Structure formats: structure tokens, C-alpha cells
Structure 1
Amino acid sequence: MHVAAWRQPETVGRNLPGTPGRGIPSATKLPRMADSSFDIVSKVDHQEAENALNQARKEIEQRYDFKGTGASVEWSGESVLIKASTEERAKAVLDVFQSKLIKRGISLKSLESGEPFASGKEYRIVSTIKDGISSENAKKISKIIRDEGPKGVKSQIQGDELRVQSKSRDDLQEVQRLLKAADLEVDLQFVNYR
């Protein structure tokens, strides 16, 4: 009886994936970690703005110091129109509206109000609620990130918002601290962490 000699399989010793110590890519060949990112936006909850305006309207109707002054606050298209018989009463209506916005969690940086102007026998103030980051403010924010932020952090303007990217999440948090401390004319929120 003849017994065939046992032979090692030909695959032993080859560089195959899954073979211990062989076929495993070196650290330099591993895919690089994706950058972490977040978006910088300036959004206003329009339902909260509507609630603030309604609360301001109710308070103005009930307050004794506004009786007989023709004081009112209402939407006029996309703007808020404030009316009163005197410039001082118009400014007082604006103060009431601003306090209601603050109570509803809307920053006054999101409200842009013009100067009181006379229209016939009444004074008016036109205010707008700013939504989104203007291109001028987006450029300012990008410059702050580039000049004062950690190295390796990139920002990109995307319409009325910015995307900030970095390999380090700590660097992204540093950018947020930097922008919160900056004296900007726009209310910022940080969203869409990836």
C-alpha cells in the first residue's frame, strides 16, 4: 500500500488577506478619516416671531399708556410695521415687540429696525426679521476662522450659510467658542454635526 506524502497547500506563505501577519494593509494605506464638520446658520423660527408679534399686539391694546395713541404692530408683507401718533410711542411699541421676541428666544440681532418716520399724522417704524447670513457677514465669519481659528480648519460659504470642516472635533469646538465671543451683527446657530 502506497501512502502519498502530505504536502502543504500552496496558499501558505502567500500574501493573502486574512492570513495572520500577512495581507493586512499598512497604516499608511488605511483610508484617511473623514473630516468632521458642522454648518453655521442664522435661522429664525417664524412661528415664534408670529407669537411674539401677537403677544406685543395684545399688550399694546391693553396698556393704559397706549390708549388713544393709535399704537399698533402688525405684519406688512415680510416686514413688521409699527404705528403710533408720536415718535416716542412708536419707539415704545418697538420696545414691547423686542421684549416679546427675547422672551420667545429670538435674538435682537435678527431684527433690523429703521428710524421712526412721519407719515401724515402718524409715525411709523419698519422692521424686518433677518433670516440667513448675508454674503458680507459670511465673508467676515470666514476671515475670523481663517485668521484666528486653529490651523487646518476650512470654511466654505454655501448660499446663506457656511460649512466648517476639520480633522479635529476639538478644533471645531474652538471655532464655535471663537465665533460666540466675536462681536458679529448676526445671530448664529451651529447645526448638522457630522
Structure 2
Amino acid sequence: MLTVGDQFPDFDLMACVSLEKGKEFERIDAEWLKLNREKKGWLVVFAWPKDFTFVCPTEIAAFGKLNEEFADRDAQVLGFSGDSEFVHHAWRKDHDDLRDLPFPMMADSKHELMRDLGIEGEDGFAKRAVFIVDQNNEIQFSMVTAGSVGRNPKEVLRVLDALQTDELCPCNWTKGEDTLDPVKLLAGE
């Protein structure tokens, strides 16, 4: 699995971006990222195993509810699984919590992105992974959980806040709290 310090791989995927007729699908590629990253320098990319399951929609909806907070921190949220954009569309239409998602649901139908990231499971499905990628396309945070355990998008937001301070942040640090000053710590202050 790619981790901190690795470059996030290039990708070119179709995505379900809306339920509005004629505006359902969009290609998410290097050009799209360039245009969107001029506004938002950071990426938060997360993968879920498959659509029409039980844990996955709870996470997707939770990322959706925090989308504005990620945007306020200049971060673009992108989600994906190995399902097609048409399956994503059907799931969004079928699931109340997914209808108005504010970020693209990308379709990694050929499993290229999940393989490049090293998160394709032995069962052929994406592992439950999340990556925070900086303006230089370098991964600054990566995490994967067991398929039965949902992630905490608020923790991903907290880590993004900490990364954006470019300072030392203690355990459980939250935005607005003091960061660590090594000079003062070494002086015993």
C-alpha cells in the first residue's frame, strides 16, 4: 500500500457526480484535478469495497456531511470503488443518504487505481482506505481498516488540520489548540 511520502498515482475515471438528468456523469482525470486543485490544493481520496452494502454508505454519507469543512480547508474529497458509474448512480437514487452527495463517486471498474495504491484485496474489492494528498501530490496520510470497521471522517479532518499547521501536533490535537514548540520543550518550559 502506498503511504506517507509516496506520490499519489495518476488516474482517469468516470464518476457519478449528480442525479440531475444529463449531468449524471463526469470524467475525473488529470485535467479535472488540475482545474479543481487550483482552487483546492489538497485531496482526500477514500475507497470503499462495494456499493449496495451496509458499512459503506455510513462512511460515504459522513464524508458528504463534512464536505464543506474539507472545502474550507482547501481539500477536494473524492470517493471510489470498483463498481461502475452506473451502479453508483443506481445506488445514489436508491439510498436516501447518498442522493445529494457533494463529491464525485468515481468508478474504478478496471481496478487500476486500487492496484496502483496497493489496496485491492485478495477478494478483488477495494480495501477500506483513505489518503490525504498535499499540493505536491505527495501522500501525507494513509489508513486502511478492516472491511467490517467504518472509518471516522472527523478524524481524517482532524489530521488534515494538523498537517496544514506544518507544526508539531500532540496526540489528540484539534484545530485551535496549541502546537508543540520544541525549543520551549527542550528548555523545560
Check whether TM > 0.5. no
TM-score, normalized by length of structure 2? Answer: 0.20
Between structure 1 and structure 2, the one with the greater Rg is 1
**TM-score (normalizing by structure 1):** 0.20
